Chain A
Amino acid sequence: DVKVTQSSRYLVKRTGEKVFLECVQDMDHENMFWYRQDPGLGLRLIYFSYDVKMKEKGDIPEGYSVSREKKERFSLILESASTNQTSMYLCASRPFQEHQPQHFGDGTRLSIL
């Protein structure tokens, strides 16, 4: 079974801090994604990566950056955390074939105080 592991289930940080969210997948998938999920808004794409060191902005990249130095790991970085970045963050991976399903981690619930 494909496993996507997010480093923390819950995280509390302070405004202005630099925050790192880590995601690791064990199935050699080419594509990886970061989403945030808010009540009533569904999943919104922040960034995705289709290969090592390759990244593309999603719908809401402002205030975020990403890093993919190795194929199995995709990191989301909040450069200077703000309260409006309090949310559930979901990582997903998928083979390069677009019709294959995305496999999601169980999410990190991030609170910015």
Chain B
Amino acid sequence: KNQVEQSPQSLIILEGKNCTLQCNYTVSPFSNLRWYKQDTGRGPVSLTIMTFSENTKSNGRYTATLDADTKQSSLHITASQLSDSASYICVVGSSGGSYIPTFGRGTSLIVHP
């Protein structure tokens, strides 16, 4: 069964600090990996996508990495801001003909002033 595991479950950091969120997956055959940001009371919004051949992708202060061999991804947030407080969800797509991506349970990030 396809699975996506995220760690930590929750994280509290001070404004201006960096942090890294982890995602491990067992999805086969692998197609792509996407990170979503979900603000409180809103729907998730796509931050980055990486395919098998890409090992890093940046979107402003967000940098995602992918190691397809170990089936791991990370999302690094640089110089955190209060607006980064949100849930970050790792989602993995399969190329096996399924329309359905596999969702992780998310990491809840709180940035304190």
Specify the chain A residue showing the minimal Cβ separation from B105: A42
Tell me if A99 and B51 are in contact (CB < 8 A).
yes
**Residues 86-113 of B contacting A (Cβ, < 8 Å):** 89, 91, 93-95, 98-101, 103-106
Which residues does chain B contribute within 8 Å of A104, judged by CB atoms?
43-45
Tell me if B43 and A42 are in contact (CB < 8 A).
no
Residue positions of B touching A, CB distance < 8 A? 9, 31-32, 34, 41-46, 49, 51, 89, 91, 93-95, 98-101, 103-106
Residue from A41, A43, A107 whose CB has the most chain B CB atoms within 10 Å: A43
Tell me if A42 and B104 are in contact (CB < 8 A).
yes
**Residues 42-90 of A contacting B (Cβ, < 8 Å):** 42-43, 45, 48, 50, 56, 58, 90
Question: How many chain A residues touch B (Cβ–Cβ < 8 Å)?
Answer: 21
Chain A nearest Cβ from B20, distance in angstroms: 20
Tell me if A106 and B105 are in contact (CB < 8 A).
no
Q: A42-B89, A42-B106 are in contact. Are A101 and B46 (CB under 8 A)?
A: yes
Separation of A65 and B99 alpha carbons in the complex (Å): 19
